[in-house]
Amino acid sequence: MSMYDSIRQVLTPIHKEGYPFIAIAAVASLVLGQMWEPLGWLGLVITLWVCYFFRDPERQTPVRSGLVVSPADGRVSSIAEVLPPPELELGDAPLRRISIFMNVFDCHVNRSPVDGVIERIVYTPGIFINADLDKASEDNERNGLVIVTGETRVGVVQIAGLIARRIVSFVRETDALLAGERFGLIRFGSRVDVYLPLHVQPLVGLGQRAVAGETVLADLTGTEPAREYRCA
């Protein structure tokens, strides 16, 4: 293996959405460094953090019909039975919602939780409160997708947070997605909600760390009861 290949295996790719922000941070670092050297070093740290924030690693997605994988890196902040957002048109009966909260150190590239076809995409303007709060699902700026997989319609909602000010979508209605395929990105701290049929039991626990495209949240075809967890 060449030195170049070895370095590529160690370094995580950066998503192209991050290039403008990295360039701005780098130029600002140079300018600040000319003004006062300690500010230049601070700018360098910020530039490295921006590179880290926009990382876009490859993921190993489990492949089996019915599996629902996490759409985001982060912490499972909520598992609840709630009414889905009306704009998704998923009906007026409660669904199971699994929420993944991303802090500013998590990878913010979002991935499809299931194989399927995008039936609906709806952007809803809103405010920017802490995405970890339950009411953020209703009040915050968000972008919702409905993905049809077999006979099931799964809702996925990107929610802007206290710091996040931009939800980026890579897909359109009628696009076909594979589980684990990238569909969007949220800049700087946010949350993603997944809405599943009520009979589908979660296979993750509150507070668990999820990895986008890899952690199995649920099984649409399974009969396993909800798992119990303990801190260790």
pLDDT in tens, 60-108: 999 999 999 999 999 999 999 999 999 999 999 999 999 999 988 898 8
Query: Quick check: 7 pLDDT over 60?
Result: no
Higher confidence at residue 120 or residue 190?
Answer: 120
The reply to whether 44 and 149 lie within a common domain is: no
- What is the structure's pLDDT at 11? 66
* Domain tally, the chain: 2
The reply to whether 19 and 124 lie within a common domain is: no
Least confident of 87-96, 135-144, 146-155, 181-190: 135-144
The reply to whether 101 and 152 lie within a common domain is: yes
Q: How many CB atoms lie within 10 A of CB 155?
A: 22
Residues 195 and 232: beta-carbon distance below 8 Å: no
pTM of the model as a whole:
0.86
The reply to whether 185 and 100 lie within a common domain is: yes
Q: How many CB atoms lie within 10 A of CB 46?
A: 15
Active site annotation includes 190: yes
User: Which of 77, 112, 137, 190 is the catalytic position?
Assistant: 190
Residue 163 is assigned to a structural domain of this protein = yes
- What is the structure's pLDDT at 50? 85
37-53 vs 19-35: helix crossing angle, rounded to 10? 170
Q: How many CB atoms lie within 10 A of CB 34?
A: 10
Residues 49 and 102: beta-carbon distance below 8 Å: no
The reply to whether 84 and 10 lie within a common domain is: no
Distance (Å) of CA 52 to CA 65, 161, 184, 208: 33, 19, 17, 22
pLDDT in tens, 170-197: 999 999 999 999 999 987 768 999 999 9
Mean pLDDT of the chain: 87
Residue 90 is assigned to a structural domain of this protein = yes
- What is the structure's pLDDT at 114? 98
The reply to whether 123 and 190 lie within a common domain is: yes
CATH for 91: 2.70.70.10
The reply to whether 71 and 152 lie within a common domain is: yes
pLDDT in tens, 215-226: 999 999 988 888
Least confident of 51-55, 98-102, 109-113: 51-55
The reply to whether 87 and 187 lie within a common domain is: yes
Residue 60 is assigned to a structural domain of this protein = no
Query: Quick check: 205 pLDDT over 90?
Result: yes
Domain that holds residue 211: 67-219
Query: Quick check: 129 pLDDT over 60?
Result: no
The reply to whether 14 and 84 lie within a common domain is: no
SS (H, E, C) the chain: CCHHHHHHHHCCCECHHHHHHHHHHHHHHHHHHHHCHHHHHHHHHHHHHHHHHCECCCCCCCCCCCEEECCCCEEEEEEEEECCCHHHCCCCCCEEEEEEEECCCCCCEEECCCCEEEEEEEEECCECCCCCCCCHHHHECEEEEEEEECCEEEEEEEEECCCCCCEEECCCCCCEECCCCEEEEECCCEEEEEEECCCCCECCCCCCEECCCCCEEEECCCCCCCCCCCCC
